[in-house]
Amino acid sequence: MRNLFKLYRNLKPFILLIIGVVALTYLQVMANLELPKLMANIIDNGIITGDIAYIWKEGGYMLLIASAGGICAILASLMAARTSIGLGRIVRNRLFAHVENFSLHEFDRFGASTLLTRTTNDIVQIQTSTIFFLTMLANALFTSVGAAILAYSADPQLTRILYVALPVVAAVMFVVTRLVVPLFGLVQAEIDKITKVVRENLTGIRVIRAFNRVDHEKVRFERANADVTNTYIKVNRIMAVLMPTMMLLLNAVIVAILWFGSARINTGNLTLGPMLAFMQYALQIMVALIMLTVMFIQLPRSVAASDRIMAVMETQPEIADAAETRQAGAERGHVTFQDVTFSYDGGEEPALSNITFDANPGETTAIIGSTGSGKSTLVSLIPRFYDVDSGKVLVDGVDVRELSQEDLRGRIGFVPQKAVLFTGTVADNIRYGKKDASDEEVAYAAKVAQATEFVESMPDGYTTMLSEGGLNLSGGQKQRLAMARALVRRPEIYIFDDSFSALDFKTDANLRAALKKETHDATVIIVAQRVGSIMNADRIIVLDEGRIAGLGTHQELMKTCEVYREIVYSQLSEEELA
């Protein structure tokens, strides 16, 4: 509940619209309440006395009021729709901006798929309920109070019927709410499950096919689907019972009014008009009660949705700029690790322990080690994707925690292990590294990254559209575009996380030669699988289970480092070594 109110604080810009909705609703309710009175007059003074002119006059007036009420209702729902959609837009924007600031840590914690449903489904949920609340709440309140007063003034005696009927209606509604609300909670969880299954199926389609798991996945989906279906059937069963029950109650009230009313008409205490007016008011009150119930059923869903949204909103990114950021020193491109230890959330063993090394401009520092040894983790600490547990990572002599993230990352050209491309043209994707890069710069970066040949053989060259994630490219092609994206920035520090393993040996060699020229005064950090890719590096760091097992040049390591020798012997033949 508290979170829902917090979300509704974002309604501030719409305060005028909301006042408009309430005012129009008030007018509409007033018109509705006026109608039974007019009808009573027509019956008593027109139909019974046979005064046709009076019927026409009052009837015309009734028509006028009814249309005015209708127009008010339409305007009110338009304004309510505006408000709720505007609220959705604001919350969505805020949420998105907030999530953009998350460090990888928070992404790990939430997981992409729930962040996705929270920014879409949950916000739609809030939007829907806002419309409900805006249009129904005021209406139900005005109607029930107004109609109660008018019913009483039409005939105080008949009001006693309502004393009995309304608690019964309220009791039925209460029972229904109690039954339905938990079911709706269940539906939400089950829809989450379906989303998860579908998502995994879409992203994992190749694996599913390759391992003949289609049937297994079908069963999994069918199960999730059947769960939702069954719950919805339960909900609808209750609703199906509800409608006739309410009709029965309404009709019982009508019968009671006719029964007791006609007795009072017989004794001359009441006329036909007010009795029929009373009946209308009684119905209006009961309908208002039903509306309130519908709102109560919707309420828990929007409370749940707002909880999920606020949980994201209130998560402070672990990595934020320091209050006072420092400018990096005059040196360019120094990367220093001082006794760094780091563990992931929930990891028992540190992913990295006691890492100490220096990488200098003009030098290539290579990192090698078996999978899971912490290579990607190590390089992700340089752009401060995560914060270290102890020790320090320095860039240009300043602790990365004291640099502003923008300044820090502006110095780095990062090629992640898994190349990620965006929907857009080839040139767009390369320009992602530098917004204002000229066509020549883009082409040059592509040339260094050995991408020219395949880019130019594509139908539209640099303006060829790439699909989402670059699905229409091979792994090695994606890697090379990701590299061009880093190269076009001409950063001080290049980080290549395993960017060469998807390339054939020849392209690998050409690329390294071209890179060497390009990066002669920059700091280059290369994570590699193949010894051949890094043999000539100025410094090789051998990682083993998060620790440095050896540090030095190829020759030095061959003499001193057992782990390195094992890697080398497993990859290179005798001639290559000699």
In angstroms, the CA 40 to CA 61 distance is 13
DSSP letters for 431-477: HTT-TT--HHHHHHHHHHTT-HHHHHTSTTGGGPEEPGGGTTS-HHH
Dihedral of CA atoms 531, 535, 541, 547 in degrees, nearest 10, equals 30
In terms of CB distance, is 376 or 523 closer to Mg ion? Answer: 376
Give how many residues touch ligand ADP by CB under 6 A: 12
Of Mg ion, ligand ADP, none, which one does residue 429 interact with (CB within 5 to 8 Å by kind)? none
DSSP letters for 404-434: -HHHHHHTEEEE-SS----SEEHHHHHHTT-
Q: Does 293 contact ligand ADP by CB under 6 A?
A: no
Of Mg ion, ligand ADP, none, which one does residue 475 interact with (CB within 5 to 8 Å by kind)? none
Span from 325-333, 352-360, 368-376, 538-546 in contact with Mg ion (CB under 5 A): 368-376
Are the C-beta atoms of 466 and 473 separated by less than 8 Å?
yes
Q: Please give the radius of gyration of the chain, using alpha carbons only, rounded to the nearest integer.
A: 36
Q: What does the buried/exposed string (b/e) look like for 368-378 if buried means 16 or more CB atoms within 10 Å of the residue's CB?
A: bbeeebbbbbb
For ligand ADP, the binding residue among 13, 60, 111, 372 (CB under 6 A) is 372
Going by the DSSP 8-state scheme, the letter that residue 488 receives in this structure is T
In terms of CB distance, is 72 or 531 closer to ligand ADP? Answer: 531
The residues in 97-126 that bind ligand ADP, with binding defined as CB under 6 A, are 108
Q: Does 375 contact ligand ADP by CB under 6 A?
A: yes
The residues in 396-455 that bind Mg ion, with binding defined as CB under 5 A, are 417
Q: Does 257 contact ligand ADP by CB under 6 A?
A: no
Q: Does 371 contact ligand ADP by CB under 6 A?
A: yes
Q: Does 377 contact ligand ADP by CB under 6 A?
A: yes
In angstroms, the CA 75 to CA 81 distance is 10
In angstroms, the CA 344 to CA 213 distance is 32
- Cα-to-chain-centroid distance, residue 91: 10
Q: How far is the CB of 345 from ligand ADP (least distance, A)?
A: 7
Helix (H), strand (E) at residue 304: helix 272-313
Of Mg ion, ligand ADP, none, which one does residue 373 interact with (CB within 5 to 8 Å by kind)? ligand ADP
In terms of CB distance, is 72 or 381 closer to ligand ADP? Answer: 381
Q: Does 477 contact Mg ion by CB under 5 A?
A: no
Are the C-beta atoms of 340 and 390 separated by less than 8 Å?
yes
Of ligand ADP, Mg ion, none, which one does residue 374 interact with (CB within 5 to 8 Å by kind)? ligand ADP
For Mg ion, the binding residue among 25, 84, 353, 376 (CB under 5 A) is 376
Of ligand ADP, Mg ion, none, which one does residue 351 interact with (CB within 5 to 8 Å by kind)? ligand ADP
For ligand ADP, the binding residue among 373, 450, 477, 533 (CB under 6 A) is 373
Type of residue found at 85: I
Are the C-beta atoms of 260 and 158 separated by less than 8 Å?
yes
Type of residue found at 323: A
Q: Does 529 contact Mg ion by CB under 5 A?
A: no
The residues in 326-345 that bind ligand ADP, with binding defined as CB under 6 A, are 344
Positions touching Mg ion (CB under 5 A) are 375-376, 417
Positions touching ligand ADP (CB under 6 A) are 108, 344, 347, 351, 369, 371-377
